[in-house]
Chains A and B, each alone.
Chain A
Amino acid sequence: MSGPVSAHSGSLGGYAVKALLKRNEFYLAVLILVLCMLITAINPAFLSPQNILGFLKTASVNGIMAVGVLFVLILGGTPDLSFTAIAQVVEYVVVLITLAFGGNIVIALLLACLMGAAMGAVNGFVIHYFRVTTIIVSIATANLYYGMLYVLTGGSVIFIVHPMFKRFAEFQLVSFADAAGGTWGISLIPLMWLATLVLGWFILTRTFLGRAIFAMGGNEIAAQRIGINTLWVRVFVFAFVGLLSGVAAIAHTTIVLSAIPNSIVGKELEIIAAVVLGGASLFGGKGTITGTFLGVLLFAILRNGLVLLNISSYWYDVSVGIAITAGISISAWQQLKAQRARVNVNVEEAAAQ
């Protein structure tokens, strides 16, 4: 019987291929490539740089929040559901404040981050001190924040935002002229997404804090025994989720140039699904930034592809549903298979002895 090293993986390259085949990200990347080829074959406009930059820009809002979701999933336990409500409240309040007092984009961003972090930290403290599962606490805070937003503001839509948001949205790092006489280029919004991805990657893989988050996700009691301050790690994670929700709120405002009180809430399950599809485990201690990026990218390409293929947007939910159900079923099936294989090996060894 083949042991852990199969006959094919004699060379170093074989090991690399084997390791790659075990990664969720690899299958996701293949799926994305196939999807891209399919869409391009039918509508070549998909591969134009304008289109790619366009859907990257739209996906940025979900993408930024997804990084926060990844942190919560790695920390372990049930997922957080309040981050979209936090983003919604931050968006509305920041738009109101900048309209009233002016200011510039940096101040708006700082304000958004501070507000988001404070609201997120509340979750962390409540979860730690009252020992309740994340999903219950976050349902509570989400309802509270979102309900209060509506009660206090009457839920009216703000159609005019401070002009700085428009300037920020139109700023192009590199711009090119297109055939129609207009210009297109790399705007700052996808770069905000890139920055959060890099920041998330850095914290998770290059700092002690990141190790602590993984350790708590693996086994919280063990993490506490080796001297990790579980209170502060947990509060950091939830504050970080809130902070990223604040950043996402600013990105969203610059894209839609209005503040609609129900435009972000309701996306939370889709974002969590994207992160889980990217390989993060609901049992904690597992997940990568690359996978998260690919998961969000897959959904963005699906949405964009349906538009380009002239398929009604009704089918978007169906395709997302199929993607999630199929994705989790396949990965669960693989895990089961691996588990059974392990059990078999043990039995054989026991019999031989």
Chain B
Amino acid sequence: MIRIPRKPGAAVDGPLYVILVAIIILMTILNPGRFATMSNIESMLYQLPVLAFLSIGMMVTMLSGGINLAIVSTANFTGIVTALMLKLMTDGDSASASATITIIAMAVGFAGCLLVGAFMGYLVAYLEVPAILATLGVMMLLDGINVVLTGGYTLSDFPDSLMAIGNDSVFGLPIPFVMLVVVIALMSVLLSRMPFGFKLYMLGSNPVSARFSNINAYKVLMGSYILSAAFSGLTGIVMMGQFNSVKANYAQSYVLVTVLACFLGRVDPFGGAGRLSSMVTGVVILQVISSGLNLMRADPFFVTAMWGAIILVLIVFTHFESWFGELRRMAKATAVNSEHGNGGPGKDRPRPID
């Protein structure tokens, strides 16, 4: 077991919880008698896992300094392969599939998504293609394959056992939500207590020093993309159960929302920094906002515009926060040793952006 030392200046979750509470209060006021109800909370618990799984999948690649634009396409691919396998094994009557057949079909779909992950990992790790390009190519390829596989139609009518994954509940909690809790627990152990997580953070923060520390970058990158694709696969199966249908272009807009969730959770897009708890809090904040706006019968595109506005506000907020922090440090430094003051807060110092 390895303990990761907290990165100096790493984001602490405090401000995020304040934002979360503020937004919950705001949404309760805006939706009197509708937001803080059991039925709304329950529907939020059903919706949250899909976005959370995808965001964790995105985060895993971002920690190594990459990105996975193909997460939603991989999720749809898994669903479509599973649906086609069901159809194939039951001669077209997929609703009557037995539990064994359903499990086999799901296993095939899952194997498909792992294959996609391995392919992306190969492109990024061995061919050293920039992650954004490699996953963009895979995304377009998969979108095409998805349309060809479904012929552009929606496939539906799945067995009850599959729909139970998306819609049933255990101990009064929705199954997807229980899965999410388990996954978060496992992931937090993997990321902060296991060698893989340690290597992933190291590789993201400084690839050269990671290589000199005898970290096998190929293996770690390969692992992170396969893991990311596995989360897509999980999402695909859950979405299948929830919608009782699969289609080539479900949830396409989620790609950008997951990037937003990572940004909100302060996962560094250049790798090496980002806490799972912050990211999950970010996802919850986004879910609360979208559910609240939905209850207000806001235009779905208003929600889209809101995502944009939130990022811009956050950009300004983070900037001034770090600016004030620098100013405070500077004031402290000059107080300790007044003749060694070194100028204002970095205004004239050139700094690269990307």
CB within 8 Å of B: which residues of A?
76-79, 126-137, 139-151, 155, 220-221, 224-225, 230, 269-270, 272-273, 276, 282-284, 314-322, 324-325, 328-329, 332-333, 335-336
Q: How far is the CA of A32 from the CA of B266 in the complex (A)?
A: 44
Contact (Cβ within 8 A) A325 B144: no
Q: How far is the CA of A84 from the CA of B303 in the complex (A)?
A: 19
Specify which chain A residues have a CB less than 8 angstroms from the CB of B137 in the assembled complex.
273, 321, 324-325, 328
Contact (Cβ within 8 A) B354 A328: no
Q: How far is the CA of A134 from the CA of B67 in the complex (A)?
A: 14
Contact (Cβ within 8 A) B353 A127: yes
Specify which chain B residues have a CB less than 8 angstroms from the CB of A76 in the assembled complex.
354
Supply 12 further A-B pairs (C-beta < 8 A) apart from A142-B308, A147-B302, A150-B304. A77-B354, A130-B318, A135-B269, A139-B260, A147-B304, A282-B130, A315-B148, A318-B141, A318-B144, A321-B142, A321-B143, A328-B129
Contact of A140 among B270, B303, B308 (CB under 8 A): B308
CB within 8 Å of A: which residues of B?
69, 123, 127-130, 132-134, 136-145, 147-148, 151-152, 256, 259-260, 263, 269-270, 299, 301-309, 311-312, 315-316, 318-319, 350-354
Contact (Cβ within 8 A) B144 A320: yes
**Known: A79-B132, A269-B139. Contact between A143 and B148, CB under 8 A?**
no
Q: How far is the CA of A77 from the CA of B127 in the complex (A)?
A: 20
Q: Give the residue name and chain of the A residue nearest to B309 (CB).
A: A144
Contact (Cβ within 8 A) B354 A126: no
Contact (Cβ within 8 A) B132 A143: no
Specify which chain A residues have a CB less than 8 angstroms from the CB of B138 in the assembled complex.
321, 325
Contact (Cβ within 8 A) B140 A320: yes
Contact (Cβ within 8 A) B308 A133: no
Contact (Cβ within 8 A) A329 B123: yes
Q: Give the residue name and chain of the B residue nearest to A77 (CB).
A: B354
Q: Give the residue name and chain of the B residue nearest to A276 (CB).
A: B133
Give the dominant DSSP class at B's interface. Answer: helix
Q: How far is the CA of A130 from the CA of B142 in the complex (A)?
A: 35
Q: Give the residue name and chain of the A residue nearest to B138 (CB).
A: A325
**Known: A151-B302, A318-B148. Contact between A136 and B311, CB under 8 A?**
yes
Contact (Cβ within 8 A) B350 A220: yes
Specify which chain B residues have a CB less than 8 angstroms from the CB of A147 in the assembled complex.
301-308
Specify which chain B residues have a CB less than 8 angstroms from the CB of A128 in the assembled complex.
353
**Known: A126-B312, A127-B353, A321-B138. Contact between A143 and B305, CB under 8 A?**
yes
Chain A-chain B contacts (Cβ-Cβ < 8 Å), number: 168
Contact (Cβ within 8 A) A136 B302: no
**Known: A144-B308, A317-B143, A328-B129. Contact between A269 and B319, CB under 8 A?**
no
Contact (Cβ within 8 A) A316 B269: no
A9 CB to closest chain B CB (Å) equals: 28
Q: How far is the CA of A141 from the CA of B260 in the complex (A)?
A: 12
Q: How far is the CA of A246 from the CA of B211 in the complex (A)?
A: 46
Q: How far is the CA of A79 from the CA of B302 in the complex (A)?
A: 25
Contact (Cβ within 8 A) A321 B259: no
Q: How far is the CA of A131 from the CA of B318 in the complex (A)?
A: 10
Specify which chain B residues have a CB less than 8 angstroms from the CB of A150 in the assembled complex.
299, 301-302, 304-305
Give the dominant DSSP class at A's interface. Answer: helix
Contact (Cβ within 8 A) A336 B132: no
Q: How far is the CA of A334 from the CA of B144 in the complex (A)?
A: 27
Specify which chain A residues have a CB less than 8 angstroms from the CB of B69 in the assembled complex.
269
Contact of B129 among A131, A321, A332 (CB under 8 A): A332
Q: Give the residue name and chain of the B residue nearest to A330 (CB).
A: B127
Q: Give the residue name and chain of the B residue nearest to A282 (CB).
A: B130
Which 6 pairs between the two chains have the least Cβ-Cβ distance?
A: A147-B305, A321-B141, A317-B144, A77-B354, A144-B308, A143-B308
Q: Give the residue name and chain of the B residue nearest to A317 (CB).
A: B144
Contact (Cβ within 8 A) A140 B353: no
Q: How far is the CA of A43 from the CA of B256 in the complex (A)?
A: 41
Q: Give the residue name and chain of the B residue nearest to A324 (CB).
A: B137
Contact (Cβ within 8 A) A136 B269: yes
A315 CB to closest chain B CB (Å) equals: 6
Q: Give the residue name and chain of the A residue nearest to B263 (CB).
A: A136
Q: How far is the CA of A335 from the CA of B127 in the complex (A)?
A: 9
Contact (Cβ within 8 A) A140 B315: yes
Contact (Cβ within 8 A) A319 B301: no
Q: How far is the CA of A333 from the CA of B134 in the complex (A)?
A: 13
Q: Give the residue name and chain of the A residue nearest to B313 (CB).
A: A140
Contact (Cβ within 8 A) A146 B301: yes
Specify which chain B residues have a CB less than 8 angstroms from the CB of A149 in the assembled complex.
301
Contact of B319 among A130, A151, A329 (CB under 8 A): A130
Q: How far is the CA of A224 from the CA of B152 in the complex (A)?
A: 51
Contact (Cβ within 8 A) B127 A332: yes
Contact (Cβ within 8 A) B130 A325: no
Contact (Cβ within 8 A) B306 A283: no
Contact of A78 among B132, B134, B302, B315 (CB under 8 A): B132
Contact (Cβ within 8 A) B304 A78: no
A142 CB to closest chain B CB (Å) equals: 7
Of B128, B139, B305, most buried by chain A (CB within 10 Å of CB) is B305
Contact (Cβ within 8 A) A133 B151: no
Contact of A314 among B152, B270, B299, B302 (CB under 8 A): B152
**Known: A146-B304, A147-B301, A150-B304. Contact between A273 and B148, CB under 8 A?**
no
Contact (Cβ within 8 A) B354 A139: no
Specify which chain B residues have a CB less than 8 angstroms from the CB of A129 in the assembled complex.
319
9 A–B contacts from the bound complex (CB under 8 Å)? A133-B269, A144-B308, A147-B303, A147-B304, A147-B305, A272-B136, A283-B130, A314-B144, A317-B143
Q: How far is the CA of A270 from the CA of B137 in the complex (A)?
A: 9
Contact (Cβ within 8 A) A140 B312: yes
Q: Give the residue name and chain of the B residue nearest to A134 (CB).
A: B354
Contact (Cβ within 8 A) B144 A137: no
Specify which chain A residues have a CB less than 8 angstroms from the CB of B301 in the assembled complex.
146-147, 149-151, 155
Contact (Cβ within 8 A) A220 B352: yes
Specify which chain A residues have a CB less than 8 angstroms from the CB of B145 in the assembled complex.
318, 321
Specify which chain A residues have a CB less than 8 angstroms from the CB of B354 in the assembled complex.
76-78, 133-134, 284
Contact (Cβ within 8 A) A141 B147: no
Contact (Cβ within 8 A) B315 A136: yes
Contact (Cβ within 8 A) B141 A322: yes
Q: Give the residue name and chain of the A residue nearest to B146 (CB).
A: A317
Q: How far is the CA of A137 from the CA of B315 in the complex (A)?
A: 8
Q: How far is the CA of A316 from the CA of B308 in the complex (A)?
A: 31
Specify which chain B residues have a CB less than 8 angstroms from the CB of A321 in the assembled complex.
137-145
Specify which chain B residues have a CB less than 8 angstroms from the CB of A329 in the assembled complex.
123, 127, 129
B165 CB to closest chain A CB (Å) equals: 29
